[in-house]
Structure 1
Amino acid sequence: MNNENTQTTADRPMQSITVDNLLINFTTEFQRVWTCNSSTAKPCAFWRPTPAPDLLPGYFPLGDVAISGDGNINGGRIVAVVCEGPAASADAQRGKALSPPEDFEQVWSDTGSNPAGGTLWLPLAQEGYVALGLVCSINDEKPSLNAVRCVREDLVTAASVGALIWDDQGSRANQGFSVWSVDPPLAEAGEINFAPGTFVSSNNHDRPVTDVEVYSLRMQIPVEINPGPELPILSGFAAPEAHEPTQPTQVAKLPWFAVEDHGQPPAQRLRESPYYYLQRTDRYVLIGSSHNQGDKNSLVTWTLRRVKSRRDMRLFTRISAVQIPNAWPLPGSDVERPIKFSAKLSEEFTHTQTSISGWTTPDIGAVAANVAKNTMMALYQLQSNYDLWRENRTETAINFMYSDSKSLCWLQYPPEDATEGLATPTPVAELPQLPELPEVPEVPEVPELSEVPDITNTAP
């Protein structure tokens, strides 16, 4: 047995994630409960999250943390902790978000190993609540009912068994045993599913496939929506410039673990930028205008500017890990992350209410319109610029832009009901697709933002 109280103190707690009346935060502070130091088995250790009461008062673990090996995880491992929040649900019948377990059921004892002394316990949740992890204790002593909290079942989502953490092969214990991580499910649009950092068990050395309930936490991605830009108004025979936006149109708030920030370890991101802000700023851009001063209709054609750049998108994802418009990280990714998660931005935020093809297909190359006699016509396009910011308002990654053929806006003066013979503007054949910019080579480290060369959306 080995007990430690070594702790590291974060500079300040992050603003908690709120899911109905459940508050979720994170800790880097742990107390070692038990170490398997048998000479014949692989070493392992079980740690209890111990959020500092002055920083996170009222927060409880969801279960203990299991590691292979015997290293000190304080300051290096990050797991979720939970707290009861103010009632937010319109349905008062749902009750509190958290509940202590009613009891514990022993699922393993290392009796028979040398030396013996550790046991693992499953919290038994009251009806309507679920346990998200196991709890370790010394000898056969049951854990305290205040060791963990169970969560109301509508506040979590079903997950799956992940990778093997440790098994007791060679321990000579009377009962075989193994512990496994938790993998969250693929996120739906506008949501993040993330693992609590706990573990599940099997009464042998095989992956558990039945009789095991696995859960992960979930949250909505908060999006602040501001009024969109106003479409310019033609009040004469001159096309006005569109007003520059004074604020982002939409802002998605992403927790620290869903964004990569090169050069900043996870614990530093949690302290210094617990949230990142992906801003979408919409603006109307004048594509072209024509004043037909003749006495006959006139056919005019305008070429659309190239806005989307696949190179910009790839570079943005390489730096930040954020995928547009898909879920991230990609299934099968072997990158080790501080919190296992799956995230996907909302369809409204990514312009994918009907299809994601707008991000992958080339833009319409040109559009044409019949401009009636003595008529002014102007073509505007709604374009969206995406920027990723840290909490201290410094920019990370690079920005990128989006537009599609559905965002074209035609204006005319005098208004249509005052003109004759006006034909509906229609797109003409697409221009030849411009060649792709070459792949950006992999680099060991991404330079600071100030050193990244300017990248434009103009193809070669």
Structure 2
Amino acid sequence: MKPLQFNDLLISFTSEFLPLWNDKGSNAHKAVGFWRPSTTSDVLSPFYALGDIAVGHYRNINQGRIVAVVSDANKVDGTALRPPVDYHLVWHDEGTGAHANFSIWRPLAPQGYVTMGLVCGVGYDKPSRHAVRCVREDLVVTARVGELIWNDKGSGCANDLSIWSVTPPDAPAGEAYLAPGTFLGHDTYAKPGIETYSLRLALTAQLSDLPPPPALSGYESPPADESSATLQVCELPWFCVKDPELSAVEQLQSSPTYRLERTDRHRLGGFGHNTGATPQPFMWTAAKGELGGNARALAFNTSVDLSKEWSAHPQAFELNFSAQLDRDFTHTQRSAKGWSHSSPLEIITYVPPRKAVAAYLLHSEYCLLRQDGSQVSTTVSYTNGDHVYMSESPDIEPLPDEAIPTVETPQAQPDLEVTGHDLIDDTLTP
């Protein structure tokens, strides 16, 4: 598989382990087995373990458990990883009666680096400095002490020991936090306040420009879905997806990444045609939010939640993690309220005289795909009500012929007629 990358840190995974020790013969109340992640395969030859693994049973964990291993993206001059400068003894089993001698050590990290887990010694010998790597502190996030894995109660050892898992904090939008799968330990049975860490990954989507709303070319109502579509993509690491058809090992082998695709189109929310000579108000009611209730089905089937942070559930995931999608990708940059249900949206606008106007809303469909292109769960539909896109007819509509008033041509006035008159004969007559 192609490694995941966060800045200059490469993260891969192994399901192969070397047995180190178990407490058989110690009479401890609980069982425990310790294993070392193997990176001897050709694919993982430049990778290192972050610490050893502790499980609360004696069974073989090969091909049944998966943990992260790390490498530096800059092979020669990289600074993402450093070997520990030394080790500090945490516990040894002297007095337990176990079948073999055993010790646990804490790596001491160089300045600017952190330790991700404890390391087992061969007998009572200090481990090799090359057994694990410490990680640069900007590549990790502070985590929490998780559940108890084992303690040595009943073993007869003079030194108390309890060992614990690591739980990542809640991830913010656009990130995933992955617990290293290693263990913590200290010399009391109470839950410790040990500083611990998780790995970081970015879930930032590859966002394209939104499609432009359709342009009105005339005065007739346009089709409901005539706009072009654009594709937005967010890649999810396999451990964030609860695939109902694959085991964790099968996911790692066949679909180490999943594609969450968002297809955007503009959907008609209302159309108005003002045939009058003055501006007129138009009002339409459209639906916004998640349509069909499929987001809940997606979260139930795969645990991928489009509206909030999600994390590992017991018995569902191999690795302990938390994740949250980028809010620009999920339309929740302002509020996730619209995801839970569909609600009406009223659109009011004034349409100029002899103009047509269409109102559009951005409609998105989400599909979760395996690496081979097959779809997981169902398609989720969401209409974003944060913005309304208006499209106006380009020209003022000409008035129809019957609406044009007929102007009568005035009749021509007759010429002024001068009436003749008799001449006065003022000639004196005799």
**Other-structure match for 1:344:** 324
**Alpha-carbon separation, structure 2, partners of 1:415 and 1:141:** 87
Return the offset for 1:411.
1.7
Match of residue 279, structure 1, among 252, 257, 261? 261
Paired position in structure 2 for 1:38: 25
Q: Which runs of 4+ in 1 moved over 3 A?
A: 238-247, 294-301, 333-336
2:73 corresponds to = 85
Aligned residues, how many?
394
Matches within 5 A, 1:220-231: 220-231=202-213
Shift in Å, 1:395: 0.6
Q: Tell me: CA distance 1:159–1:234, structure 2 relative to 1, closer, same or farther (3 Å).
A: same
Instruction: Give the drift of 1:83.
Output: 0.6
Post-superposition shift, 1:279? 1.0
Match of 2:166, SS? strand
The question of 1:292 aligning with 2:259 is answered no
Instruction: Identify the residue that residue 56 of structure 1 maps to in structure 2.
Output: 44
Corresponding residue number in structure 2 for 1:313: 295
Shift in CA distance, 54/365, structure 1 to aligned 2, threshold 3 Å: same
Answering whether residue 119 of structure 2 is matched by residue 119 of structure 1, we say no
For the residue of structure 2 that corresponds to 1:313, the secondary structure is helix
Structure 1 window deviating more from structure 2 (108-117 vs 232-241): it is 232-241
The amino acid of 1:64's aligned partner reads D
CA–CA separation in structure 2 for the residues paired with 1:228 and 1:336: 36
- Residues of 1 paired with 2:342 and 2:365: CA distance? 18
Match of 1:324 among 279, 282, 306: 306
Rounded Cα–Cα distance in structure 2 between residues aligned with 1:245 and 1:24: 38
In the superposition, relative to structure 1, how do residues 204 and 415 fare at CA in structure 2: closer, same or farther (>3 Å)?
Answer: farther
Distance 1:350 1:87, change over 3 A: farther
Letter in 1 for 2:358: A
Return the offset for 1:145: 1.2
Question: Could you tell me which residue of structure 2 aligns to residue 427 of structure 1?
Answer: none
Classify the secondary structure of the residue corresponding to 2:198: strand
Which one-letter code corresponds to 1:18 in the other structure?
Q
Number of the residue aligned with 1:218: 200
Letter paired with 2:11: I
Amino acid at match of 1:24: I
**Aligned to 1:264, which of 238, 242, 246?**
246
Report the equivalent of 2:90: 107
Q: For the Cα contact (< 8 Å) 2:259–2:368, is it kept in 1?
A: yes
Contact 1:29 1:52 in 2 (8 A): no
Contact 2:91-2:105 within 8 A present in 1 as well: yes
Question: Between Structure 1 and Structure 2, whose CA radius of gyration is higher?
Answer: 2
1:134 is the counterpart of 2:118: yes
State which of 152, 165, 170 in structure 1 corresponds to 2:136. Answer: 152
1:23 aligns with 2:10: yes
Paired AA for residue 105 in structure 1: H
Match of 1:75 among 57, 60, 63: 63
Q: Which amino acid aligns with 1:35?
A: N
1:382 aligns with 2:362: yes
Matches of 2:114 and 2:201, distance apart in 1: 17
Letter in 2 for 1:37: K
**How is 1:294-443 mapped onto 2 (pairs within 5 angstroms)?**
294-305=276-287, 308-309=290-291, 311-329=293-311, 333-360=313-340, 362-414=342-394
Q: Following TM superposition, by how much is the alpha carbon of 1:233 offset from its aligned partner in structure 2, in angstroms?
A: 1.6
Structure 1 or 2: more strand by fraction: 2
The structural deviation recorded for 1:202 is 1.8
C-alpha separation between the residues in 2 aligned to 1:21 and 1:383? Answer: 37
Structure 1 residue 296, shift from structure 2 partner: 4.4
1:186 Cα deviation (Å)? Answer: 0.7
Counterpart CA distance in 1 for 2:292 and 2:214 is 30
Cα deviations by residue, 1:249-289 (Å, 9 ceiling, x for unpaired): x2111001101111311111111111111111110112332
Gap runs ≥5 in structure 2: 397-430
Indicate how the Cα distance of structure 1 residues 357 and 64 shifts in structure 2: closer, same or farther if over 3 A, else same. same
- Give, in angstroms, the shift of residue 359 of structure 1: 2.1
Counterpart pick for 1:253 among 216, 235, 240: 235
The code of the aligned residue for 2:249 comes to A
Distance 1:335 1:324 in 2: 22
Q: What amino acid is aligned across from residue 38 of structure 1 in structure 2?
A: G
Superposition RMSD in Å: 2.3
Q: Secondary structure at the match of 1:154?
A: helix
Structure 1: state its 5+ residue gaps.
1-13, 417-460
> Does the 8 Å contact 1:20/1:87 carry over to 2?
no
**3-state SS in 1 of match to 2:177:** strand
**Residue 34 (structure 1) shift:** 1.2
Query: CA distance change for structure 1 residues 99 and 307 in 2, over 3 Å: closer, same or farther?
Result: closer
What letter corresponds to residue 34 of structure 2 in structure 1? Answer: F
**Quick check: 1:166 aligned with 2:153?**
no
Asked if structure 1 preserves the Cα contact closer than 8 Å seen for 2:288 and 2:382, the reply is no
Q: Structure 1's 125 and 199: CA in aligned 2 closer, same or farther, altered over 3 A?
A: same
Describe the superposition over 1:125-146 as per-residue Cα deviations: whole angstroms up to 9, x where unpaired: 1111111011112221111111
- For the 8 Å contact 1:119–1:138, the answer to whether it is kept is yes
CA distance in 2, matches of 1:58, 1:384: 41
Distance 2:197 2:285 in 1: 52
Cα distance in 2 for partners of 1:137, 1:60 equals 17
Between the aligned partners of 1:195 and 1:107, the Cα distance in structure 2 is: 21
Of 236, 239, 243, the residue aligned with 2:218 is 236
Between 146-155 and 112-121, report the one with greater CA deviation: 112-121
Pairwise CA distance, 1:357: 2.2
1:187 has 2:171 as partner: yes
CA–CA distance in structure 2, aligned partners of residues 80 and 306 of structure 1? 41
- What whole-Å deviation, never above 9, does each CA across 1:41-87 have from its counterpart, x for those lacking one? 13211100002431112101000000111000000100000011128
Q: Deviations over 1:188-220 (max 9, x none)?
A: 1100001010000020222112xx221110111
Return the alpha-carbon distance in structure 1 between the equivalents of residues 348 and 288 of structure 2.
Answer: 17
Give yes or no for contact 2:293–2:341 (8 Å, CA) kept in 1. Answer: no
Deviation at 1:247, TM superposition (A): 4.5
Structure 1 residues 239 and 56, CA gap change in structure 2 (3 angstroms): farther
Give distance in 1, aligned partners of 2:339 and 2:267. 19
**What secondary structure sits across from 1:186 in the alignment?**
coil
Q: Are the aligned partners of 1:245 and 1:281 in contact in 2 as well (CA < 8 Å)?
A: no
